[in-house]
Chains A and B, each alone.
Chain A
Amino acid sequence: MGKTVPETIRHLIIVFGVLAVMMSIAAGLIWVERRLLGFWQDRYGPNRVGPFGILQPLADMIKVFAKEDWVPPFADRPVFILAPAIIVVTVLLAFAVVPFAPSISVADLNVGLLYFLALSSLGVYSVALGGWASDNKYALIGALRASAQMISYEVFMGLSLMGVVMLAGSFNLRAIVEAQRRLWFVVPQFFGFVIFLIAGVAETHRLPFDLPEAESELVAGFHSEYSGMKFGLFFVGEYLGITLISALIATFFFGGWLGPLLPPAVWFFIKTFFFIGVFILLRATLPRPRYDQLIRLGWKVMLPLALANLVVTGGIILAAG
């Protein structure tokens, strides 16, 4: 290993710090989302537990832990239990490459971007296996929808980031942030940003694209049979996913930790929370499209757009030499 003891301790602090911060953000988002949705619907949202209702996640957690941990007798038991853990683990692993500040990141991979794409693709196993193991027709439909949606949206999610990679000349997330010192990539890569945002919403199956859950048609989609803490893990995984996508939007297109006056980590969290707010705002606004509309949008609009963006970016870089 060849590392000194203080350095190892520093690494451990960062690892567990990131873990703790991410888990508490995911829990806090339960309250943030319900509160913001309330405001956008002319209500107050949860405001009773603690000051401004900030202890609501705690109450929810007590409730979810106190629930019976039940596995349906017809379910495929090992897979049923494993599935909710997969999404949390993959998303948490993906946080390893996110640079929160120049000196704060768990791993400084030189293929960080590919690593993130790989792990976000693995996340779909959670939904697909959970729906499959439930042995319930609604869960199965939800799982199949999730798989098809992930395959469709994963493609141009990767393509939309290639423009960023070309501009930065690196797959390393830290290098990508450093390359935005002069100009945030949202300006030259505006279409890339829009495509990545839409793909990110689909990737976390959040409301405009929450067809795997679609509570008005599929009961609760892939997690129909889940209850208690296993359901809670799906929930936490979803919020972690939102945080991850928001953090990556900030990293890839809005200059990550870069910003004047305030410390880098603060800038990073401001940007991340802005995009979490955007996610919730989209949920508050947009209705769910039909399933064929979703797939058509993916393959017929987004994929060509991502390819065109790639070609134009490449051409301009080539012409500029």
Chain B
Amino acid sequence: MLSILRAVWTVFLHLFKRKVTVLYPEERPRIPPRWRGRIILSRDPDGQERCVACHLCAVACPVGCIALQAAEDEYGRRYPEFFRINFSRCIFCGFCEEACPTYAIQLTNDFEMSEYHRHNLVYEKQDLLISGTGKYPGYNFYKVAGLSIKGKDKGENENELPPVDVKGLMP
């Protein structure tokens, strides 16, 4: 009997406790920097698309929400012809970001993606591509890869020696 009254009093005192509710639109929750939110495609420091259309993100995706088509420009640089993420399927696991060899696909800390129509959650390449470099400002895949593309021949990378002439006899 006494314990019941004590319980009632304890509950009553909770009237004056701090509320745990975050009043969301007015009060913003703290989003940690590594939050896995809306997915973006980033660009090189010189403004080119980072994505090389290797399909690793699409393979890594456990729900299969990434679709893309590879293409190549006349200088041998690969890029996705289309790149489509269905966010109504995406589970924001971040596996695509881990799989990406060029830091192209990245998860950001934006989570406000509500839509009234489901098909509006299918993002195309122009919706995904941002103008900046995202989390890795200095990284430029083609500047460290051995491939020759427009404006850069083999051996012209940073920290790279000219190619060895394998048929020559000189050391």
Contact = CB atoms under 8 A, between A and B. Distances in A.
B19 A42 contact: yes
Contacts of B8: 281-282, 285-286
Contacts, number: 34
A47 B21 CA distance: 12
B7 A286 contact: yes
Instruction: Give the interface residue-count category, chain B.
Output: 10 to 19
Contacts of A286: 4, 7-8
Contacts of B2: none
A43 interface: yes
A285 B11 contact: yes
B21 A40 contact: no
A44 interface: yes
A129 B166 CA distance: 97
B21 A44 contact: yes
A39 interface: yes
Contacts of B15: 39-40
A94 B20 CA distance: 41
A43 B21 contact: yes
Instruction: Give the interface residue-count category, chain A.
Output: 10 to 19
Contacts of A8: none
A104 interface: no
A41 B14 contact: yes
A41 B10 CA distance: 11
B27 to A, nearest CB: 11
Nearest to A208: B4
A40 B14 CA distance: 5
Contacts of B28: none
Interface of A: 39-44, 47, 281-282, 284-286
Interface of B: 4, 7-8, 10-12, 14-15, 17-21, 23
Given A285-B8, A286-B8, 19 more contacts: A39-B15, A40-B14, A40-B15, A42-B17, A42-B18, A42-B20, A42-B21, A43-B19, A43-B20, A43-B21, A44-B19, A44-B21, A284-B11, A285-B4, A285-B7, A285-B10, A285-B11, A286-B4, A286-B7
User: Which 4 pairs between the two chains have the least Cβ-Cβ distance?
Assistant: A285-B11, A285-B8, A42-B20, A44-B21
